[in-house]
Chain A
């Protein structure tokens, strides 16, 4: 088995990994990027719709265009595509990877984990019925259509109004599939408002709020689904079930951070992803995390920005420039469902990313019982709230045992 020495190993060649590798190399670290697929880009490759890059590049790009830009920033790194990470040693930054040239052991000084997220599978929903073909996670359907040019069905229902579901409703409609509706179990949409408008309203695709699929039908191919309205506790209302004949059910029911490859790294209990500090460092000092393996972010621009930071921090760690500091734990309080990061480094600026539990017209974000206060408008669970803290503010929060983050309604 070959042994390969680098300073920073980046795992995953999507937006976060590419940005991490670019910035680690820019900082002067000898950097290796491993990507399982045959080319870089990750999920961007299949996102042929526009809407990417408004923050990072100040223009509207498609997914492949965004990936191409990022790829252009990769100067002076080693790149192994078609290479799968098999294991990472919990005790030191040594990894084993396999590709067409065999198995390689990589010895690094620091590792950036940027493996993205997977889609929650159908079986996790525990919706009764037989197991016909025609039920697709939205991302898989997107890959079928946009990468392989294959059509998954003729008449579809989208379950879940996450962004991929909304985008796929439009995509399938444009390919001549009859999209009956998007059903969302909650009383509000799960995706960005702009996607509700641009993907559903503009094409007159109905959005059924407060309803879900309670049973599927069809032994071989899907023949239809039973859709029922939900009560306030999210249980199906008896007597509201109706049969909707479709041959395709597209699922947009949540993304799960893909972190099973490193079971030794502590998780963020509010996201299921890696728990990281404001330096994007995990409790394993040489291991950093970036992108959707921390939490499912709304925008690829955010993912790339986090990747860029993680790459720099990892390079600093590899070059022994990152000191060990006492951090302040971050906790969720009222009306906060998810928060990133999990720890603050006092004195260093940080952007908090939080997801509210409920929609609020006007609200205030409160960190550390009043140490930091920010007014925010129109809080929606579908859209992450960002709160930029200065170095002084993160230093001030160090006087608390933990920094509790709350979203407080203003009226």
Chain B
């Protein structure tokens, strides 16, 4: 039995990993040169508690289940996860009722540990927030993670358990006969398959259309962010939420797992043709600052090193599209709006069980849930780092000084599939720091070219089309 998973984001890679718990063959298709470069790359990286979700929705069910699964999945895949908790701040008397309603909603859908805090309690716990705060909801199960790291880890773990990863391969057609999927055609070749999982993120509506499954529209919603580094640690104690808007969770202040602070996102609906429009806008950047300063008036904005934007899929019907469809053995893990990241591990586990039952797949006895992370030398105990250096001197050469990433780690990232500067950056954090690659880009370019046995003019941020250099000097 052979299952094709379309889309190498956090959802598709986790589905592939869960399917690899069973006998049978898993093919994971991603049209970008690397996994995790779509919706997965640019979101708030929050593991949500679930109190934002309405009772009875798939969002609510899988958010709460996914939140509970996250620590285990991140432990097995050696992906950063910190359960730092979050506050929803009421900054005016009128907002207090909203916070109380979120509390009631959270309790109703089974979010553990929610507490309503009075003004003096909030001020004592997070003294840096807006002094106008009148009350807050404390959610201890709010966490932060590294979504792209999770996608890389899940893909690696799936492959270690027999799956095959096809990056840079776009699915162009799906053959259906007698109401059942039979084959997947990519821009390379055709694969006979017994089942297909649509985890194509922003493009899931197009993939569904390939087999004639009609879906509500997927609206690309742009979220812009601003990243600050080297911020005081007191600003990084918890995720801060405003009260939600009718459309989104609002502009947040989010600590990242690698010590930075993320402000955003905005929420701008684009036309369906806008699915590549990840540019930042002047208006968006102004809104981010206004929204974030409302939560934390004294933000060190001078520490901003990066502005970016991501698109998230907003299904018109407002909820996930999960499970089987009118076409036999065409399954969906799609419409994964926020809290899609949080829900992903639970959706993946549930869907793999469904598919295994439909296809009568037996458990794979050799399945190993553990994926060893790339060693990050500077985080290791000294003896372990010294051992790494003794085995390979390149672990003693620091290339990225901001995040103390060694050449050994970059070489290892290339060995695990990094082909681009972003591929290296997202695996090792080299170039993610305060200099944003000003000091190390040339060195990383040289290592990539050497390891891949190609010229530096063929290496780009995201592939040859975004190459850094055009040739040699004369």
Residue ranges of A at the interface with B (Cβ–Cβ < 8 Å): 1, 36, 82, 84, 86, 98-103, 118-119, 121-124, 126, 128-134, 137, 139-140, 143-145, 147-154, 175-176, 214-215, 219-221, 247, 260
Report Cα–Cα, A128/B304, bound state, in Å: 14
- Report whether B305 and A221 are in contact in the complex, using a CB–CB cutoff of 8 Å: no
- Report whether B279 and A128 are in contact in the complex, using a CB–CB cutoff of 8 Å: yes
Report Cα–Cα, A104/B369, bound state, in Å: 37
A149 CB contacts on chain B under 8 angstroms: 472-473
Given A121-B305, A219-B276, also A102-B438 (CB < 8 A): no
A-B contact pairs, 25 of them (CB 8 A): A98-B389, A98-B396, A98-B398, A101-B396, A103-B382, A121-B434, A121-B436, A123-B305, A123-B308, A123-B436, A126-B226, A128-B281, A130-B278, A130-B280, A131-B279, A133-B466, A140-B441, A140-B442, A144-B469, A147-B442, A148-B456, A150-B457, A154-B470, A215-B282, A220-B462
Contact of B467 among A99, A100, A133, A214 (CB under 8 A): A133
B404 proximal to A (CB < 8 A): yes
Given A102-B390, A150-B472, also A119-B404 (CB < 8 A): no
Residue ranges of B at the interface with A (Cβ–Cβ < 8 Å): 226-227, 230, 276, 278-282, 284-285, 302, 304-308, 377-378, 382, 385-386, 389-390, 393, 396-398, 401-402, 404, 434-439, 441-442, 446, 456-457, 460-463, 465-474
Q: A150-B472, A151-B473 are in contact. List 13 more A-B contacts (CB 8 A).
A: A1-B382, A98-B385, A99-B397, A100-B393, A102-B390, A118-B439, A128-B280, A128-B284, A132-B461, A133-B461, A133-B466, A133-B468, A221-B466
Given A133-B460, A149-B472, A175-B473, also A123-B434 (CB < 8 A): no
- Closest Cβ neighbor of A272 among chain B residues: B302
- Report whether B470 and A102 are in contact in the complex, using a CB–CB cutoff of 8 Å: no
What is the interface of chain B mostly: helix, strand, loop, or mixed? mixed
A129 CB contacts on chain B under 8 angstroms: 279-280
Given A103-B385, A220-B466, also A176-B472 (CB < 8 A): no
The smallest beta-carbon distance between B429 and chain A, in angstroms, is: 15
- Report whether A82 and B473 are in contact in the complex, using a CB–CB cutoff of 8 Å: no
Report Cα–Cα, A130/B468, bound state, in Å: 15
A118 CB contacts on chain B under 8 angstroms: 434-435, 438-439
Report Cα–Cα, A147/B278, bound state, in Å: 34
Report Cα–Cα, A84/B385, bound state, in Å: 14
Contact of A100 among B307, B396, B461 (CB under 8 A): B396
- Report whether A260 and B434 are in contact in the complex, using a CB–CB cutoff of 8 Å: yes
The smallest beta-carbon distance between A130 and chain B, in angstroms, is: 4
- Report whether B435 and A153 are in contact in the complex, using a CB–CB cutoff of 8 Å: no
- Closest Cβ neighbor of B230 among chain A residues: A260
- Report whether B474 and A124 are in contact in the complex, using a CB–CB cutoff of 8 Å: no
- Report whether A153 and B470 are in contact in the complex, using a CB–CB cutoff of 8 Å: yes
- Report whether A122 and B279 are in contact in the complex, using a CB–CB cutoff of 8 Å: no
Given A124-B304, A140-B441, A148-B442, also A132-B466 (CB < 8 A): yes
